[in-house]
Amino acid sequence: MESLLNEILMQCASYKQQGAVASYIPELAKADPEQFGICVVEADGTIHTAGQWQSVFTMQSIIKPVILLAALMDSGEERVRQLVGMEATGKPFDAFNYSDQALAAGHINPMINTGAIALCTLIQGATYEEKFRRLLDLTRELAGNDRLQVEESVFQSEKATGSKNRALAYLLKAYGMISDRVEDIIDCYFKACSIGANCADLARIARGLACHDHSSLQPAHARYVNATLMTCGMYDGSGEFALNVGIPAKSGVGGGIMGVVPGRMGIGVYSPALDKKGNSVAGIKAMELLSQRLNLSIF
């Protein structure tokens, strides 16, 4: 497996030049576009790695499946479905215009910013500091890494420049979908996105979702999360990813991709140069080749 992963990284190296690191969050603009790593964790826990798999990057939108899972665990599927829908929007992850009508649950999903911000309100906790601590604890447990922590410089950068996400939160409040103080919710969301991880952390989280055997995962919740990843996880590139790779996955503008191969393995990839949709260019290509070589598509 290691030789295959190294071969894939070599074959995909040129794709790093076809993207650009995220710059709308100033701290993310400091990422090295030459970084490229991959990790596969098999169903039995065997780990395979190649490249700069130990490099730490912020999870960004890859935390959204964990936010969804926490909301399902704490508030139940019925309450989650009252707040967010399941359908892909076909629009960028930070879009405002989901519908010509008033904003409602059916217009958003858990894998776009608006949906994830809304779901932060369903995590249990007397304060948003407590909600975030519980979310971080769940992330650490799923990743098998109690050292995961917020990358403070990225958090402060997001907090200082995240006007659009604040606007999305106020939009939710304007339509009566959330009622808590916006700054408390948005701080929780920014901290969540700023959790640092590496490829192995992502692959272990994905392996749990793939095998439904983690102590914190009810199979019904894992199926809910995986179905949402399949339809919405790669932003407005989810359909193309489903065709070319064929597995549930989540990307983040930090450059990571987390892939779930049901019953078989979890995958974590990192390459920070992104396409216009916010997905890692080399990371997607690596996932395509890995899927082809190992026949990973669920279709």
Active site residues: 61, 64, 189, 235, 253
DSSP 261: E
Question: Which residues have C-beta within 8 Å of that of residue 237, sequence separation ≥ 6?
Answer: 275, 277, 279, 284
Starting at the edge strand found earlier in the chain, the sheet holding 265-270 runs 47-51, 37-42, 265-270, 256-261, 249-251
- Residue listed under structure tokens 């993310």: 28
State both tokens at 228.
């949402």
DSSP for 58-90, please give it: E-GGGGHHHHHHHHHHHHHHHHHHHH---S--S
Distance CA 258, CA 34 (A): 19
Q: How far is CA 26 from CA 29, 113, 153, 214, 241, in A?
A: 5, 18, 10, 36, 28
Q: In the chain, count of helices (H) and strands (E)?
A: 11, 7
DSSP 280: B
Question: Helix or strand or coil: residue 237?
Answer: helix
Distance CA 51, CA 39 (A): 9
DSSP for 20-41, please give it: B---SSGGGGGS-TT--EEEEE
State both tokens at 16.
């790093």
